[in-house]
Structure 1
Amino acid sequence: MKPRIYRLSEEKPRCRRVLSAAATPPLSGKQTSWVTITRTGSFTDPRYGPFEITSPMLLSMVKNFDEQVVGQEIYIDVNHKPGDGAAAKILKLRVEGTRLRALAEWTDYGLKAVRERGFTYLSAEFADNWQDNEGGAFHGPTLLGAGLTVRPVIKRLEAVMPGQPISD
């Protein structure tokens, strides 16, 4: 079976949304913040059908990030459009409970997207079994990036509060 790549933002609104959490970069001079990329759970989406994100999947994403299996830095973009530029570079990944968390280094483009254009949620982009295009090796669940979005598929992700301490 061919590995699937998931882009977890909704393309078309299916219902009204009440915003309850935001992925807001800090408003101070700091350009880094910890953000929640995704979480565990059972979900459904018209593009992928039913799917799960499990704790072992999150741990695999961290391992593959640390081992740099993708062969490049991993970025957050705006609306899953990497051709428009990077909103932030992911510096670190870790699992906290049921959440995949990233230390993001924000660009001016990313700060503007959040503060002025309302892109306040994060949406993971990952492969369920990423295959290296050079050696052909499979690496399991791998984070390929994330997108700032206004309609994430995965709900109930906590906000990143301005001024929140940055700690390892």
Structure 2
Amino acid sequence: MQNTLTVNDTEYTVLQLLGKGKGGYSYLVTDGTTQYVLKQIHHEPCEYYTFSDKLQAELRDYKTLCKLGIPMPRLLAVDAPQECILKEYIAGQTVAELLKAGRMEPGWLKQVQTMCGLLYPAGLNIDYYPTNFVPCSGTLYYIDYECNAYMEQWDFEHWGIQYWTAQAPERTNEI
């Protein structure tokens, strides 16, 4: 892992790798004052998902979800030539980490269902897997920007909810 990454000629120190998704690697970075998430797009193959332009898809999905009012980290910068974005860092553990520790808050399901109430009429789903959500100051944030056309088999009630229960199965690469 590199010690620094650059967005629009501004250098950030890498503090840690937060995770790897279908579209990129997310790093916790700092400019010495504030912490951010830097997502570096990757072009590794994904057998169960196809992308056209990953960066443009990320930006399009962000705009779509913002218009709907889904709580998400703010997009702060885009560096198209480097294929990376800089996002607000929502501090805290993911819902997946909290569930593993036996810490389920009943309000989280209500907040996801509220998000579904915005998404479904717009013909959309998000990735409901608990690693994509961070509770902070009473708000549940969707920290990914991915959204897809609505399909009942991948909505929260038919797919996502199973990962939010006490005995949740490991995620499979089915989507």
Do the structures match in fold with TM over 0.5? no
Structure 1 length normalisation: TM-score? 0.34
The structure with more radius of gyration:
2
Structure 2 length normalisation: TM-score? 0.33
State the structure with bigger RCO (CA 8 A, min sep 6), 1 or 2.
Answer: 1
The answer to which structure has the higher helix fraction is 2
